[in-house]
Each structure stands twice: as C-alpha cells, then as structure tokens.
Amino acid sequence: MTDMLEFHTLDVFTETPFAGNPLAVVLGADVLSARQMQVIAREFNLSETIFVQPPVNPAHTARVRIFFPTAEIPFAGHPTIGCAILLASRAHGPGDFRADLVLEEEAGLVPVQVTRRGAIVEAEFTAPVLPKAAPGQAPTDLIARALDIDEADIGFAAHRPGIWQGGPSFLYVPVASQDVLARARPIEPHWSGLMDCAGVDSAYLYTEGTDCDFRARMFSPTAGIPEDPATGSATAILAAQLRAARVLRSGTQVFRLRQGVEMGRPSELTMTVDYGTDGLAAVRIRGSAVPVSQGRIRIPGGA
C-alpha cells in the first residue's frame, strides 16, 4: 500500500529483547513532512523515533531525522546505534560482518562501525560534536528540591554538577551513592524551575558503580520522557563532565556504564574517550541492539 511505510523496533544497548532502550525506525521517510514525522513519533510514544531518508551525499549511508514525542532533536545515541545496526544487518544478511556507515544527522555527519560476531551485533559511533560547557545555572539547593534528595547527597570525590552540550544539552548531577540514585525523582514545581534555570530539559544523574564504572539515570519529563533507559548522547557528553572532575588522563580510556536498572530496562553502554594535551579529541559510544518487531504504519494525512 502506498499510504503505508515499513517500520522496525529494536531494543538498544542490550543483547536481550525487552531490556535496553526501545527504538522505532521508519524506512522510506523521504515522503514525510516534519509534521508527519512528529505525528508518527507521538504515535510510537518511545523516547525517540528515527526516520531514514536517502542521503544528501550519495557517498553516505542515509540521512536520518530523530524525534522525541514532542520535538525534533539534532542527534541522539540510541537511535544512531539501532538504526545503523538495522541498516547494516539488512545490507549484509546473515553471518559475521564489519561495516562502516555514515549517517547524516542534523548535528552533522556521524560515522558508525557495525560488527556482527555470532549472535551479537554491535555498533560504535563517533560523536559528531565534541562536548563543551553550556550556559545556565543549577544551584545545589534547587537540584535537591527538584530531585527529592538532600544537598549532602549531591557530588562525590571531585564530581560536581555541570551543564554541558554536544548537540543536545544536559544537566549532570553526580550523586553520592546508588541508594541516592535509586531514590531520586523529579518533583514539581521545582523540576520545571531547575530546567528553566539550567536552560535544559533533561538531567543525567550518575554515581560510581559496583559492576561498572558508573551507574546512571536520565530524567526528561518536560520533553515527554519521564525516564530514559539509555541515553547515548548524554553518555558521550559525560566525557566533558569527567574531564571537569579530573577523571580523564592522557591517552585512550574506556568506561562501562549501566542505565535503566531502576526502571526494569537494564542497559549497557561503553564510552571510549581520546584525551590529549589539547583536550578531548574524540568520544565514541558502543552498544548492541536486538530486533523486537516490524510492520507497516499509515502515513498521517496532510503535509
């Protein structure tokens, strides 16, 4: 049917179906307007939906556009990982492979390497924008009220709250323990006040992990995402937060992160940071994805 488009859903940053972060990928989206993409993203009502179009440059793999349920965003991690794995798997079929893709995202070109070894398919992307400081303020007393925690729960070692951007922007809130991480929750009207003050719509909380380097949660209810199971873009931008906390050393470092545990969708993310005398040189995010469903979705009426 000409009024229908093919879609796939995958769970990203996991090797297990019904864990990780669910993603919808809509193919053949060059026939859609931005308004229609937004309508479809709201219909799926996942943290993100990615729409695949022919590339502007034929040397690249695809142009993609990414939508929250409420708005388009220039770049996001789990849509990049899931979409690249879907496109590479369709192109290469069964069996082991390694493929290099380039996705044209609104934030810039995103190179992605996809590998399949046995039953495991992984993708690693290089962040299109190196993170940097973002404007805004986040007083600790307001953070505490907005997250229903104590001021004493905020920060550990040299980690302090920070606001960073790299395409999207996030407020980073280090907390003292996994117990604090589990107890945190957005509380209105303080949450909206904090987002206005910080100039963002999302807060990424993290602490030291016992079975990984860091455990994290990400809240973004004002963007239509009460909690995100895995946030690849925020993980990439975390590199700037770790630099500010004097965690990074010269050379290449690899960090393992877990997110989504508290909401029953455990996700595994790997961040690799190249750091030198001139600062951050590159940030790469790696993760797996598994297919969950596929079908056809009606094209919304009107342009």
Report d(CA 224, CA 182) in Å as an integer. Answer: 21
Q: Beta-carbon neighbour count of residue 250 at 10 Å?
A: 9
CA separation for the pair 197, 94 (Å, rounded): 50
Q: Which residues contact 128 (CB under 8 A, 6 or more apart)?
A: 75, 105, 107, 108, 109, 110, 167
| Residue among 270, 265, 266, 264 nearest 287 (CA) | 270
Q: Residue 158: CA atoms inside 13 Å, Cβ hemisphere, count?
A: 8
Neighbours of 295 (CB within 10 A): 10
> Quick one: CA torsion of 270, 245, 283, 274, rounded to 10 degrees?
-100
| Residue 196 CB contacts under 8 Å (≥ 6 apart), including other chains | none
Catalytic residue (choose from 6, 15, 43, 48): 48
CA distances from 158 to 26, 111, 126, 175, 207 (A): 43, 33, 27, 11, 12
User: How far apart, in Å, are the Cα atoms of 243 and each of 5, 246, 281?
Assistant: 44, 5, 12
State which amino acid sits at residue 270. T
Whether residue 122 lies in the annotated active site: no
CB 152: neighbour CB atoms within 10 A? 10
Q: Which residues pair with 48 in a beta bridge?
A: none
Catalytic residue ranges: 48
